[in-house]
Chain A
């Protein structure tokens, strides 16, 4: 299955090949390895990788998979093959609010072509301004919110589609 790290958009392919007792044979991006996976509860396990033991907790929450390994926290989303195909590699076809907050500024308008890393929208939450960026080159199809609007966690704010030009890296700014 394909998993995506939420936020940075990094994708990787991970498959559980076989499970023998507490040994799990897995393949991550084409590399096979085995880990010891001792379950100590519904959500807790001791995972040993290359001789290092990690206390791991995991849970499925809505469309997200939450995992901690020691103090490190990770948030993953499952990438559905069909959708990723139609979106032609676009990490996320929609910009959703990562948390409830207020739309402070919208940095793009409908029809804009943006580069990966371009700021799309500024959200205010927890007394802090957070700029949300395009994870891949994209075209702004629709802007569904207004500046000043309050949004809930998960609200779709901007709809994106893959960037149009076959190569966006060699041309100048969009006309």
Chain B
């Protein structure tokens, strides 16, 4: 029998947009919410949105959002009976899931053992292989003869990788037989120098792979469903920045086989809650990458197509309920991650105070964000400011809505990637869905705002500011932050934000 445990009060062990996102779903289910916050986040929107809030330590993540003991103690103090970890921070740490369960609380996510098994790279690959999930073809042997046989079977190019490796060191792309021996030697030498271990192995090289992942959802009653796929190929340094569903151009048969593979893997481990099985896709072939045992940042694109609430599903599953019935997916959805980075300057991290904010709206537009006027964006946590998601009957409608929505976005005070994202989404390669994980290197290698993007308008406005004719109030610097000292750690009432906002209302 499945144990049912009604969740009455939920502690959200996270911050930023995802904490706010989880609070919203909990409220719709009638669950009371407890926010936790570091001293740097005292004024953050998730703190004001929750029914209760508790400070868990100084700004450093290691002393606050990663401090499992303090978080579990906060749950006890506030009488919460469940903890949702969000993504990042403690969300994929089996020892945290275990500690939560041992404290008699419900962990909203898969059991610690499932998380541990899938979190270990090698163990995860073994489970996937045994479940019949395709792996990138490879040869364990490093003898030139064996590798030649492998290459004859799979075709060049092939990739030499260090067994102990990571970070690209010891990696060599080999295009044909004649290059092989020299590359093997060099790769082994480099691996030896970098890792003290010269062992190498060989994989088929995927020249222009796509990153496609499958959303799965399992309950304690043995139900496991796959909620379509997401294409997350547009990445920068392995960080996804644009995600969409469905994956454009994926054939129905390939899609069906991917969903089946993800379900087989989920069934093999008795997967519970929301999870994502990631694949590399090369034409109509796909290969296992890894499993993320948590809610993904990009989960809203799935929600818009299926008309579901994945956080609510997680909460239902955690309290012993069955997953909801979901219909067939409709339309297309795209998500853009707006980050606090200066896209024109090598994506340098940006910080500052939100002086003015304009957020998009309209049909099929959703903005998941903790941004508001007065928010101080610092350097303690990741750079995600918000996720803009658009939905349309077709990919092209969703894409056009995204171009328009990004055009409505304006954030003064923190340099961000919105303009860069609009250029990408408006571009011809994106419109024709020429997607691969090399998309940005291929089409946007050194991005700068184009002349048409308002540089003249900005220059004139800057000169007006510099001459005191604009951007100031009664001759004083206009920015409230200019007068503010170091970030205050005292918790302020939400009404303080309103008075700060007043300053920015046009007269």
Residues of A bordering B, CB below 8 Å: 1, 3, 6-8, 12, 14-16, 19, 24, 26, 28, 33, 35, 37, 39-45, 47, 49-50, 52, 54-62, 65-76, 78, 98-101, 125-128, 130-131, 133, 153
Contact = CB atoms under 8 A, between A and B. Distances in A.
A49 B457 contact: yes
B466 A78 contact: yes
B507 A56 contact: no
A67 B461 contact: yes
B356 A44 contact: yes
B454 A72 contact: yes
B257 interface: no
Contacts of B356: 43-44, 57, 59, 68
B57 interface: no
A3 B349 CA distance: 22
Given A61-B477, A127-B382, A70 B410 contact: yes
Most chain A CB within a 10 A radius of its CB, from B345, B348, B461, B469? B461
Nearest to B463: A14
B467 A71 contact: no
B411 A68 contact: yes
Interface residues of B, number: 66
Given A49-B454, A70-B453, A40 B464 contact: no
Interface stretch (B112-120, B284-292, B414-422, B492-500): B414-422
B449 interface: yes
Nearest to A9: B345
Nearest to B473: A42
A49 B456 CA distance: 7
Nearest to A53: B457
Given A43-B471, A59-B355, A127-B382, A71 B418 contact: yes
Contacts of B409: 71
Nearest to A123: B349
B456 A8 contact: no
B322 to A, nearest CB: 38
Nearest to A56: B461
Given A59-B471, A62-B482, A54 B457 contact: yes
A69 B351 contact: no
Nearest to B237: A128
A69 B340 contact: no
B460 A26 contact: yes
B462 A58 contact: yes
A58 B464 contact: yes
A78 B312 CA distance: 51
B467 to A, nearest CB: 6
A42 B471 contact: yes
A88 B328 CA distance: 66
A130 B340 CA distance: 13
Contact of A35 (B422, B456, B472, B507): B456
B412 A43 contact: yes
Contacts of A52: 452, 454, 457
Given A7-B342, A56-B457, A69-B457, 7 more contacts: A16-B463, A37-B464, A57-B410, A58-B461, A72-B449, A126-B380, A126-B381
A3 B459 contact: yes
Interface secondary structure of A, over-half rule: strand
Contacts of A58: 412, 461-462, 464-465, 470-471
A60 B411 contact: no
Contacts of B459: 3, 12, 14, 26, 28
Contacts of B350: 98-99
Given A3-B466, A130-B348, A28 B456 contact: yes
Given A69-B454, A72-B449, A59 B460 contact: no
Contact of A14 (B414, B460, B470, B481): B460
Contacts of B342: 7, 75
Interface string B378-390: 1111110000000
B478 A59 contact: yes
B413 interface: yes
Contacts of A43: 355-356, 412, 470-471, 478, 504
Nearest to A39: B470
B349 A126 contact: yes
A133 B477 CA distance: 30
Contact of B379 (A28, A40, A67, A126): A126
A21 to B, nearest CB: 13
A57 B355 CA distance: 9
A76 B462 contact: yes
Interface string B426-442: 00000000000000000
Contacts of A59: 355-356, 412-413, 465, 471-472, 477-479
B479 A61 contact: yes
A67 B449 CA distance: 14
A37 to B, nearest CB: 7
B119 to A, nearest CB: 19
B1 interface: no
Interface in B366-423: 378-383, 406-416, 418-419, 421-422
Contacts of A28: 456, 459-460
B458 interface: yes
A16 B465 CA distance: 11
Contacts of A57: 355-356, 410, 412
A67 B452 CA distance: 16
Contacts of B381: 126-127
26 contacts: A16-B463, A16-B467, A37-B470, A39-B470, A41-B507, A42-B507, A43-B470, A49-B457, A52-B454, A52-B457, A54-B457, A55-B358, A56-B454, A58-B461, A59-B412, A59-B472, A60-B471, A61-B477, A61-B481, A70-B453, A71-B418, A71-B421, A72-B418, A72-B455, A73-B414, A126-B382
